[in-house]
Structure 1
Amino acid sequence: MNLLLINASPRRERSLSRQLATAFVSQWLALRPHDAVWERDVGINHPPLLTEAWIAACFTPEDQRTAAQSDVLAYSDAAIDELARSDIVVIATPRYNYGMPAALKAWFDQVIRINRTFSFDRTETTWPLSPLLSGKKLVLLSASGEFAFRPGGLRERWEHLEPHVRTCARYLGVSANDVHHVAIEYQEFGDERHRASLQGAISAAKALASALATAQSPHPRSQQENSNAS
C-alpha cells in the first residue's frame, strides 16, 4: 500500500503535528514495513497559489495547451499523480485562526482540479469524480493552541479545520466515513492539560495506525499495478 503524508507546519523543529505524523507513520511501517510512504511538505515548500494563468491552463484542453501552460500546471500534475497512487492520505497540520494554514489550502486548490480529479455534470447535484480517486482513507493529525473544538465543546462553532477537510475529502477519493481525526490541544497553555493532550494524541495516533494498517488490503488499483508489474 501507499501512504501520502502531507506536512503543513512551517516549523521544522518543535512541531507537534509533525510529531504526530512521525508517530503514526512509524507505527504503520512497524506493522507494514514494505509499504511506501511519500511526503509532500507544503509547510516548508509552499504550493503555488492559483493565478489567472493557472486557471486559463486548467480550462484549456490538454492537447491544446502551450508549453508555458503545461509548466504552470506542473506542480498540480505531480501532486495529483501522488494522490492518485495513494491508498492512505495523512495530513498533519496546525490549526491557524480556527482553520487550515494557507499552504495546506493551496495544496487542496492544486489537487482539486477540473478535468483531472472531477468534472462538471449540470444534470447532477454533485460533480463526478475521477475513477483514479476512490476507496482512500484520510487521517487528519492536528495541533492547536486552544481547546474544546469537538462537538459539544466550548469552541465547537469556531472549528473550521476538520469540517473544511471533510468537505474537500470527497474530491480526494475519500468518503465521509473514512476520515479520522486525532488532535492535540492546549498548546498555548503549556500545563498539565496540554501534556495530557499531547500524550493522549500520540497514543491515539499509534492506535489508529495499528487499526488501519491491520484492517487494510491493497486498493484494487494497487493490486492491478502489482499484477501488471509481475
Structure 2
Amino acid sequence: MTRILHLDSSARTGISGIDAHGSHTRRLSARFVARFVARRRETIDEITVVHRDLGAAPPAPVTGDWIRAAFTRPGERDESMHAVLAPSDALVDELLAADIVVAGVPMYNFGPPAQFKAYIDNIVRVGRTFGFDRARAGEPYWPMLAGQGKRLVLLSSRGDYGYDTPRLADRNHVESSIATAFAYIGIEHVHCVAIEYDEFGDARLAASIAAAERAVDELVDRLVAETGHGTAIGRGRDVVDA
C-alpha cells in the first residue's frame, strides 16, 4: 500500500485555471495527487490519500501549556495535558502513516504561510518525531523518522522570479526552512517544484505554470517507477524552478 498525506496551506480556496483568484499551489498539489493515484493504480497497487486543508483549518499555534505538556513525560501528563496535545497527536499520526507528503506551500513574504509554520511546530515533537537525551554521548538529538523512506514533495508559488538563482535565493525561506524541519525529524527525500511570476500575470506566468505542470508530471512518473520497484529515492533535494 502507498499512503499519501496531501497538505494544502494556501489562504486561497480555489484552484488557479479553474476558479477566479485560485491558488497555484492547490493546482499543483491536486495535479500531483491525481496523477500519482492514476499511475499507481495501473499497477493494481492499493493507495490511500488523506487530505488536510491547513489553509481552511489552520492548526492552533504552540502555547505555553502546549510546550509544558509536550516536554512532560507521557506517563506524567494529566488529562489537561493530553487534551492540549490531542490535535498535535492527530497531525503526527497522519505523518507517521504517510509514505509521501505532498505539500502545497505558497511563499508569503519570503517564507511559508503562518498556517504551515504552525503545522511544523505541531509535528516536530519530542518523543514522537525526534528524540532527546541530554545524557546521550555525542549528539543528544536524533530523528525518529529516519530510514523509513518517507518523501516530501514541496510545491510552491512565488509572486516574483529567480528565488532559486543568485537574484533572490537569499530571500527564499520556504524550501530551505521546510526541508530543514523535515530533515530534523528524519525525512530527507525532498522534491521541489515552484511557479513564479504570479504578480506579473503575463506570458511569463503562463510559461512558468506550464513548466511546473510538466515538472510535476515527470516527478510523478519517476516516483511511481522507483517506488514500484522498491527503489529508495536518493537523499537530498531536487529543485525545479519553473
TM-based fold match above 0.5: yes
- Select 1:159's aligned residue among 148, 172, 175: 172
What is the alpha-carbon distance in structure 2 between the residues aligned to residue 133 and residue 20 of structure 1?
A: 28
Deviations 1:84-111 (A, max 9, x none): 1111111101100111110000000000
The change in CA–CA distance for 1:131 and 1:189 in structure 2 (over 3 A counts) is closer
- Return the offset for 1:210: 1.3
User: Could you tell me how far 1:60 is from its partner in structure 2?
Assistant: 1.4
Q: Which has the higher contact order (CA 8 A, sep 6+)?
A: 1
Q: Please, which runs of 5 or more residues in structure 1 have no aligned partner?
A: 220-230
CA distance in 2: counterparts of 1:172 and 1:44, whole angstroms: 26
Equivalent residue, structure 2, for 1:15: 23
1:72 to 79, 84, 89: 84
Aligned length: 216
Cα pair 1:7 1:93 within 8 Å, conserved: yes
The residue type paired with residue 34 of structure 2 is: S
- Counterparts of 1:46-195 in structure 2, within 5 Å, are 46-122=58-134, 123-125=137-139, 127-130=141-144, 134-152=148-166, 154-175=167-188, 178-195=189-206
Deviations along 1:95-150, one digit per CA (max 9) or x if unpaired, are 00111110000000000011111112443336212258732111100011111011
For residues 182 and 147 of structure 2, the distance between their equivalents in structure 1, rounded to whole angstroms, comes to 10
Partner Cα separation in structure 2 for residue 145 and residue 133 of structure 1 = 36
* CA spacing shift, 1:50–1:218, aligned 2, 3 Å: farther
Partner in structure 2 of residue 4 of structure 1: 5
For 2:55, which of 36, 43, 46 is the aligned residue? 43
| Identity score, percent | 38
How far apart in 2 are the matches of 1:82 and 1:202? 27
With normalisation by structure 1, the TM-score equals: 0.89
Which structure features the higher share of helix residues? Answer: 1
Report the alpha carbon displacement of residue 217 of structure 1 after superposing the two structures with TM.
Answer: 4.5
1:206 and 2:220 correspond:
no
In structure 1, what residue type is equivalent to 2:98?
A: S
So what's the TM-score if we normalise by structure 2? 0.85
Task: Tell me the amino acid that sits aligned with residue 47 of structure 2.
Answer: D
Q: What is the distance in 2 between the residues matched to 1:129 and 1:3?
A: 21
Specify every segment of 5 or more residues in structure 2 that has no aligned partner in the other structure, as ranges. 15-21, 231-242
Q: SS of the counterpart of 2:221?
A: helix
